[in-house]
Amino acid sequence: MSGLAIIAGRGGLPAALVAALHERPMVCALDGFSPDGLVPDMVFRVERLALFLNALADQGVTRVTFAGAVQRPRLDPALFDPMTAQMVPRLIGAMQQGDDATLREVIAIFKESGIEVVGVDDLAPSLVPGTGVLAGTVTPADERDADRAATIVAALGAVDVGQGCVVAAGLCLAVEALPGTDAMLAQVAQLPRDLRPARGLFYKAAKPGQDRRVDLPALGVQTVINAAAAGLAGICWQAGGVICLDLPAMQAMAAEKGLFLWAR
């Protein structure tokens, strides 16, 4: 193993990242949030964070990256070790300010322990496509919808709400919040046809000012399937700011469903 560890969450991103690396890192998972397709080398709890950091150092880990989805776990006060208990006030204070503040505090805690936090895009740039139309054809109407969607997502991100929305003919049909992308696209799929214009797109981007080392938005094959089920013409995302879990498979599915994929 290298001096790198993945702090893995649910979904396919941890496995995609491991596959993209030349040397297998240590895989660590938060209890209750195991990744798809990987067996963690270590499972930890937030209540034992200080002990976990010490264990990483003992294993020679000098860098970590966060990959995968997690939710705020329920904390058991009886499980806190004395060192982690001292971190509780700063973590709770950060949580009260939102996800971005929480992640910044977590990064600071790792740094204080001598462990550098690095981004997925730094470790595996192939997972974060640059500018280009990667499937299908983008029309001038799609370009206008993308402009509108980018403005909406920037506004959502500024208040730490979400990273995506659906726009059709300039109208916002849905925005991404806590339930996530799949729930938002399912909501759009259920809209009566007489209440929505034709075409439309799903747009995804990182939040303004977001620390790119953590919580970059991600898309996958299921996103393409769900966008097609919602009756959309395509998916657009911020070039260099969104992870594609399996771009060739996404392109193949987009071609099958007749959708465009556009890194804008």
How far apart, in whole angstroms, are the C-alpha atoms of residue 73 and residue 102?
13
H or E element: which one contains 69? none
- Provide the pLDDT for residue 28: 97
Angle at 39 between CA 215 and CA 11, to 5 degrees: 35
Burial of 191 by CB count in 10 Å (0-12 exposed, 13-18 middle, 19+ buried)?
A: middle
Those residues with Cβ within 8 angstroms of residue 12's Cβ, 6 or more apart along the chain or in another chain: 35, 36, 37, 220, 245, 246
- Provide the pLDDT for residue 33: 92
Those residues with Cβ within 8 angstroms of residue 50's Cβ, 6 or more apart along the chain or in another chain: 81, 83, 84, 87
**DSSP-derived secondary structure letter, 114:** T
CA distances from 171 to 6, 201, 236 (A): 39, 11, 16
DSSP symbols for 235-246 = EEE-TTSSEETT
- Provide the pLDDT for residue 193: 81
How far apart, in whole angstroms, are the C-alpha atoms of residue 230 and residue 228?
5
Beta-strand pair 243-244/218-219: parallel
- Provide the pLDDT for residue 76: 86
Q: Which CATH number fits domain 128-263: 3.40.50.720, 1.10.3720.10, 3.40.140.80, 2.60.40.1180?
A: 3.40.140.80
- Provide the pLDDT for residue 210: 79
How far apart, in whole angstroms, are the C-alpha atoms of residue 157 and residue 83?
34
Q: Which CATH number fits domain 4-123: 3.40.50.1820, 1.20.1050.90, 3.40.50.970, 3.40.50.20?
A: 3.40.50.20
Domain boundaries, the chain: 4-123, 128-263
> Scanning the structure block, which residue is given the tokens 């209540």?
47
Joined tokens for residue 21: 């690396």
- Provide the pLDDT for residue 219: 96
Q: What is the pLDDT along the chain (264 residues), one digit of tens a residue?
A: 579 999 999 999 999 999 999 999 999 999 999 999 999 999 999 899 999 999 999 999 999 999 998 877 788 888 999 999 988 888 778 777 777 778 888 889 999 999 999 999 999 999 999 999 999 999 999 999 999 999 999 999 888 888 999 999 999 999 999 889 999 999 999 999 887 888 899 999 998 877 888 888 999 999 999 999 999 999 999 999 999 999 999 999 999 999 999 999
- Provide the pLDDT for residue 184: 97
Burial of 240 by CB count in 10 Å (0-12 exposed, 13-18 middle, 19+ buried)?
A: middle
